[in-house]
Amino acid sequence: TSMLSDRILAMEESQTIAMVKKGRELSAQGIDVINLGFGEPDFQTPQYIKDAAKAALDEGYTFYTPVPGYPDLRKAICEKLKRDNNLEYKNENIVVSTGAKQSLANVVLSLVNPGDEVIVFAPYWVSYTEIVKLAEGVTVELVGSIDDDFKATAAQLEAAITPRTKLIMYSSPCNPTGAVFTREEMAAIADVVARNPHVYVLADEIYEYINFVGEHVSIAQFDEIKDRVITVNGFSKGYAMTGWRVGYIAASVDIACACEKIQSQITSGTCSIAQRAAIVALQGGRATADEMAQAYHRRRDLVLDLVKDIPGLRTPTPSGAFYIFPDVSGYFGKTAPDGQTIENAYDLALFILRDAHVASVDGRAFGAPNCIRFSTAAADEKLREAFARIKKSLATLE
């Protein structure tokens, strides 16, 4: 028996972090490891945002901040939601948190009672199911087919809803698949939600600005269900601000108040300096984000071109974000030159790390045990080298 709580024992360590740790161990031995494991932009935060943070310090922004965020940041977020998403919100609907991850946790803890079902579109971002566990909810996975770019359908959703369903959760653009829901698909999902008034929607739009197909559809745009939609977004991906820890929700006032209440007891308001910088980031609009998105787009095309020449990787074309998520099940049952059998995607990801010195993350933690996720947010020459090595290593499997 352990001194630790059942709650913490039920939780998994982040597998993204676990695999990256193994890669670091190899690096420490002097091996040149290419890390395609992490979900992080390889760009620096744009200079104008860094300058705003320095100015904030000099202006004396060193005190506790209001729990739901500075009023002028919340106002800037409302303006962003109007400009980009055609959504009307007031400050009272916005809660700024220490990363979108905290926003997600706040919402799930605010809405989910023990035993409540949370429908998670799979493949999903690793933390969703663990946060649901923390709230003692029951995850119901809705698995999208690779033939539909891994997108769950409205019909599947309809079939999965029960009287115990409280919440549905997804990201679009999706981490790990890069799938983006079209307006038509989103309308069909909204329609199902409209017919089930006990169901809430947590729409994770953190990859909004990294979208190669163009239209980003917020499910909150469907007026009938807007009160039951919580939109989550943040600065980590679009503005390359992962370390700054700023995310936010837009939601009905009662949900926003609940999130504020949790946050007031756990973290208080987000870092003062990061919030001041976030205001200036939003004032800069999408220009720097669009520039970075162009680079991700180019790298996606490059990587798709490189994996085309590698047999056994079934790779749908991502419409956004910065990952590829091939199905690698064609390699299961094969044996590596060192005698180890590849039973599953984890074994293959370990083999690729061991033999090609490329770190990735296998799909188990994303609810897709046949897949491996590779980040494409790395320099072009690194991507070329990584996939050349992977091709060579995979060719040695028999």
**Does residue 171 touch ligand PLP according to CB under 6 A?**
yes
Q: 247 or 367: whose CB is closer to ligand PLP?
A: 247
**Closest residue by beta carbon to ligand PLP:** 99
Beta strand 229-234 pairing with 247-250: antiparallel
Task: Name which of residues 71 to 100 contact ligand PLP (CB under 6 A).
Answer: 99-100
Reduced to 3 states (helix: H, G, I; strand: E, B; else coil), residue 230 is strand
Task: Name which of residues 119 to 158 contact ligand PLP (CB under 6 A).
Answer: 125
**Number of residues this chain uses to bind ligand PLP (CB under 6 A):** 13
- The DSSP line for 171-188 is ESSPTTT-----HHHHHH
**Does residue 101 touch ligand PLP according to CB under 6 A?**
yes
- Minimal distance, residue 104 CB to ligand PLP, in Å: 6
Tell me the C-alpha distance between 306 and 391, whole Å: 9
Tell me the C-alpha distance between 226 and 220, whole Å: 5
**Does residue 206 touch ligand PLP according to CB under 6 A?**
yes
Task: Name which of residues 257 to 316 contact ligand PLP (CB under 6 A).
Answer: none
66 burial via Cβ count (<10 Å: 0-12, 13-18, 19+): middle
**Does residue 110 touch ligand PLP according to CB under 6 A?**
no
Select the residue interacting with ligand PLP from 14, 153, 221, 242 (CB under 6 A): 242
Task: Name which of residues 186 to 205 contact ligand PLP (CB under 6 A).
Answer: 204
- Minimal distance, residue 211 CB to ligand PLP, in Å: 13
- Minimal distance, residue 41 CB to ligand PLP, in Å: 10
**Does residue 218 touch ligand PLP according to CB under 6 A?**
no
- Minimal distance, residue 99 CB to ligand PLP, in Å: 3
Q: 321 or 383: whose CB is closer to ligand PLP?
A: 321
- Minimal distance, residue 245 CB to ligand PLP, in Å: 7
Name every residue whose Cβ is closer than 8 Å to that of residue 24 and which is 6 or more positions away in sequence. Answer: 33
- Minimal distance, residue 170 CB to ligand PLP, in Å: 9
**Does residue 39 touch ligand PLP according to CB under 6 A?**
yes
Considering only CA atoms, which of 93, 105, 128, 178 is closest in space to residue 375?
Answer: 178
Considering only CA atoms, which of 241, 343, 260 is closest in space to residue 66?
Answer: 260
Helix or strand run (H / E) with residue 362 = strand 361-362
Chain-centroid distance of CA 156 in Å reads 22
What Rg value do the Cα atoms of the chain yield, rounded?
Answer: 21
Q: At 287, list the tokens.
A: 């220009």
**Does residue 247 touch ligand PLP according to CB under 6 A?**
yes
Q: 127 or 165: whose CB is closer to ligand PLP?
A: 127
**Does residue 175 touch ligand PLP according to CB under 6 A?**
yes
CB atoms within 10 A of CB 373: 28
Residue 260: what are its φ and ψ, rounded to 5°? -65, -40
Tell me the C-alpha distance between 371 and 177, whole Å: 10
Residues that bind ligand PLP (CB under 6 A): 39, 99-101, 125, 171, 175, 204, 206, 234, 236, 242, 247
